[in-house]
Structure 1
Amino acid sequence: MHQEIKNYKVYRMSLTTLSPIFIGSGEELNKSMYVYNNREIMIIDERKLIKELLLRKGLYESFLNECYSGNLNLTNFLERHLNGYKDMDIYKYKIMSYSDVKTNSKFNNINTFIKSSNGKPYIPGSSIKGAIRTAIIYGEIMNNKNKYNNIFKDIVNYRNKYNEGYIVDNISNHFNIKNIFKNIAVSDTNDINIENLCICKRYDISTHLEVGHELPIYMELLKPCLKFNFLLTLYSSFSINDLSKYFNNFYDYNMNDNTLYSNYLSIINVFRDKAVNNPHNLYLNYDNMIPNIFIGGVNGFLTKSVIYSIRKMKNDNNEIISKIQIIDYVKKYLDRKFVKIDRESKKRVPQHNHTKIDEKISPRTLRLVKYQNSYIALGMCNIKVEEELC
């Protein structure tokens, strides 16, 4: 007798990037691995470069000597020794930089985007599934706060060593989210041409500073307004409508309930004037889409955390925890989580002093990149069902 086949449905899904996306490969490009030319980054193919150097007497030896000295700046080397190098076939790929850097000497190492076996960027299914998990837990809290009243009060009373995981674990167990995720399968997206990557520099914008604080961190990013497809398989009785409600409400909860970016938009000087007329100015408007999922890394604490979801909603008569209590909790939580060793006392002290500095919101800083002369958030996407396949 054949084993009974479990009920399942397969959907073709789309994911559209509305801001730059970073999913790291775990690798970095240093200055010996790329050439900078008028805002174009040209990534060297080592085999092709060596072959070209060997054609010229003594040039390969000169290249090795500069490598061994630790002072190799590839762009400068090629400018001095290899005429016409910009047009030679010695590169893996070329992408544009949107940073303000004008010369190679000012550039730093570049964190690279994950790529498929044929060298093209894509979004792993694990990244999408993790983002959906956050949206489900966030939505479950927002819709059923009274269920978790004791968990919330335990957290803001600073028990359980300030462990936010305590919230997620308890709600996950209550909601049986592990069982739900056994019945959800997410494929990788299609890959896309390498030209759809760009390089941006990271900026931190803080509630107590007038301007952005630029960091020497450069990343390969997926550009906004790109569309990907992937397959979503649902087993058992968990429906696509149930799932869609969670990630479609995620961004609305955060913006309309003032729990995520809107606080920053109204407090940080860079955004204050814009926030009055356009509260959604941290992503690009594309086909009237709004973000409903946050994908990838370097997005910051807020897009990974569910802690702000537990505070009182507007017009909610059943107050559980106030925003002030949550901010107070987050300040202490971050100061305990991120510590450094004081040189004089040799004691562990807070690395960023959230408790002393943060006032209206914590953490006090947005992680952004500068893209086409605008500060823009990372990781904002729109995900939706395109069709049921079977």
Structure 2
Amino acid sequence: MTNQYYEYNFHLLVLGPVHIGNGSTYSAKEYIYENNGYYFPDLGKMYLQLSPAKRAAFESFLQIKDRKKLIDFIHHQNITARDFGGYTIKASNFETDKKGRLNEIRAFVKDPYGNPYIPGSSLKGALRTILINEKFTQGDKNIPWGHEDDIFNEIRVSDSKPIEKDRLIIVQKWDLNRRNLDPKSLPLYREALKPMTKIDFTITTTSLRATELIDQLPQLAERMYEHYRQYFLADYPDRFVQDNRHAPLYLGAGSGLWTKVDRHHVNLEKIIKDTPSKMKMKGKGVMKLTRYQRKNRIQINRQTGERKRFPLINNDQSFYEMGKCGFTLKRK
């Protein structure tokens, strides 16, 4: 096979909060809520700045399994300093519902310098889902892959550049059941990228067949979304469905089963069987939402300079689709 390299600029626009997890969580013993913000200190740096007596108390505090928070320890030890490194996420007042208690927070993936970023593997997984659903509709028999002949090895996706920490927010999981259409909050909290975050990647193709696939990607994404809309979103009121901006894409955790699977070959019986009883999916499942401040996107008329505002959501309850994004693609 002839190698033919092409590079593409892939521009991602976050429309609904996006969470890419690193597998770890912050407990209430690892962050402080005060002054309308969530402070995640560098606990190692904090430990080194404590006196020997307070270090012993801190070790005991971390080891004991109880409901005490880091702020409780700090107040009890009369610690006034807050220069322990780390970062702060400004509260949006949508982190938790009034009845809930924000406790463990699932962490967003970060680079060695503590900056959030999106791994290329995460984006590639979302692109692979589009291609399998809309291009390779016959399953494994129709996909050129294997030890020596794998088309997805001919599509390389870079990691994103580091993302500013002030683009992080904390969001709660909400489920919308099509039977009662009353969003239900769940005690699951995530660090996520806020709407209107812009992120750039580079996609490299190393063969002609891979290049032909990526050239079609925006159209294939729109086609997959239309199938998703007809099969799943059509069961829900339009007010909970966000308008598309550019080619549609769902990214990260919590966006829902039907944004992740090969709809032609999904084995629902196996998925339901392997799911814990309390989380068993019924029917097509529920719509995955979260809440954040209402945001607008601004469109500027290049000829007149006129600025128009378009709301990102169509409801007055501040509900967003989890993981909703749009993208543009341009060959270099």
CA 1:53/1:293 → structure 2, altered by over 3 Å: closer, same or farther? same
- Going from structure 1 to structure 2, the CA distance change for 1:257 and 1:123 (only over 3 Å counts) comes to closer
Q: Which amino acid aligns with 2:64?
A: S
Q: Helix, strand or coil: the match of 1:8? A: strand
| 8 A Cα contact 1:172 1:178, kept in partner | no
Taking only aligned residues, the RMSD between alpha carbons, in angstroms, comes to 3.3
Partners of 2:64 and 2:112 lie apart in 1 by 33
Residues 224-249 of structure 1 deviation map (CA, whole Å, 9 limit, x = unaligned): 21111111111221365642423433
Aligned-partner SS, 1:221: strand
Q: Which one of 42, 47, 50 corresponds to residue 53 of structure 1? A: 50
Q: Is the 8 A contact 1:120 1:194 kept in 2?
A: yes
Maintained 8 Å contact 1:200/1:370? yes
Instruction: Give the match for residue 155 of structure 1.
Output: none
Structure 2 gap segments, 5+ residues each: 294-316
**Structure 1 residues 335 and 7, CA gap change in structure 2 (3 angstroms):** closer
1:305-339 deviations in Å (ceiling 9; x for gaps): 232x68xxxxxxxxxxxxxxx9xx84x45433435
Corresponding residue number in structure 2 for 1:323: none
Partner of 2:297: none
Question: Partner residue of 1:25?
Answer: 22
Q: 1:8 to 1:43 in 2, by over 3 A?
A: same
Supply the AA of the counterpart residue of 2:74. Answer: L
Q: Find the residue that maps to 2:143 and give its secondary structure.
A: helix
Matching residue within 202, 205, 213 for 1:231:
202
Q: Which has the larger radius of gyration?
A: 1
Number of residue pairs aligned between Structure 1 and Structure 2: 306
Question: Against the structure 1 CA distance between its residues 178 and 377, is the aligned structure 2 distance closer, same or farther, given a 3 Å change threshold?
Answer: farther
Query: Does the 8 Å CA contact 2:14/2:324 hold for their aligned counterparts?
Result: yes
Length-normalised TM-score, structure 1: 0.68
Match of 1:93 in 2: 87
Residues 150-299 of structure 1: pairs in structure 2 closer than 5 A: 168-172=139-143, 179-238=150-209, 240=211, 242-255=213-226, 258-265=229-236, 272=237, 275=238, 281-283=240-242, 289-299=245-255
Taking the aligned partners of 1:253 and 1:293, their CA distance within structure 2 comes to 9
**Preserved contact between residue 95 and residue 195 of structure 1 (Cα < 8 Å):** yes
Counterpart of 2:163 in 1: which secondary structure? coil
Is 1:75 the counterpart of 2:75? The answer is no
**SS of the residue 1:198 aligns to:** strand
- Aligned equivalents of 1:376 and 1:63: distance in 2? 39
Q: Aligned pair in 2 of structure 1 residues 367, 249: CA closer, same or farther (>3 Å)?
A: same
Q: Which residue of 1 aligns with 2:272?
A: 335
Match of 2:208, SS state, is coil
Return 5+ residue gaps in structure 1 as ranges.
Answer: 149-167, 266-271, 311-325, 341-349
Using the alignment, how far apart are the partners of 1:257 and 1:48 within structure 2? 47
Q: Equivalent residue of 1:259, what SS?
A: helix
Aligned to 2:259: 303
Partners of 1:183 and 1:241 lie apart in 2 by: 11
Q: 1:335 to 1:70 in 2, by over 3 A?
A: closer
> Could you tell me how far apart the structure 2 residues matched to 1:232 and 1:204 are?
34
Task: Rate the CA distance shift 1:353–1:36 in 2: closer, same or farther, 3 A.
Answer: closer
Q: Distance in 1 between matches of 2:13 and 2:78?
A: 42
Which residue type is aligned with residue 248 of structure 1?
A: Q
Instruction: Give 3-state SS (helix, strand or coil) of 2:73's partner.
Output: helix
Deviation sequence 1:230-275 (CA, Å, 0-9, x none): 111112213656424234332444337743442232xxxxxx3xx1
Q: Mark the CA change 1:289 to 1:102 in structure 2 (over 3 Å): closer, same or farther.
A: closer
Q: Distance in 2 between matches of 1:25 and 1:106?
A: 23
Q: Is the 8 A contact 1:292 1:381 kept in 2?
A: yes
Give the C-alpha shift of residue 214 in structure 1.
1.3
Moved more, 93-102 or 189-198: 93-102
**3-state SS, counterpart of residue 32 of structure 1:** coil
1:170-191 Cα offsets, whole Å, 9 max, x none, are: 34259xx963223211111111
Amino acid at match of 2:320: I
Q: CA deviation at 1:211?
A: 2.1
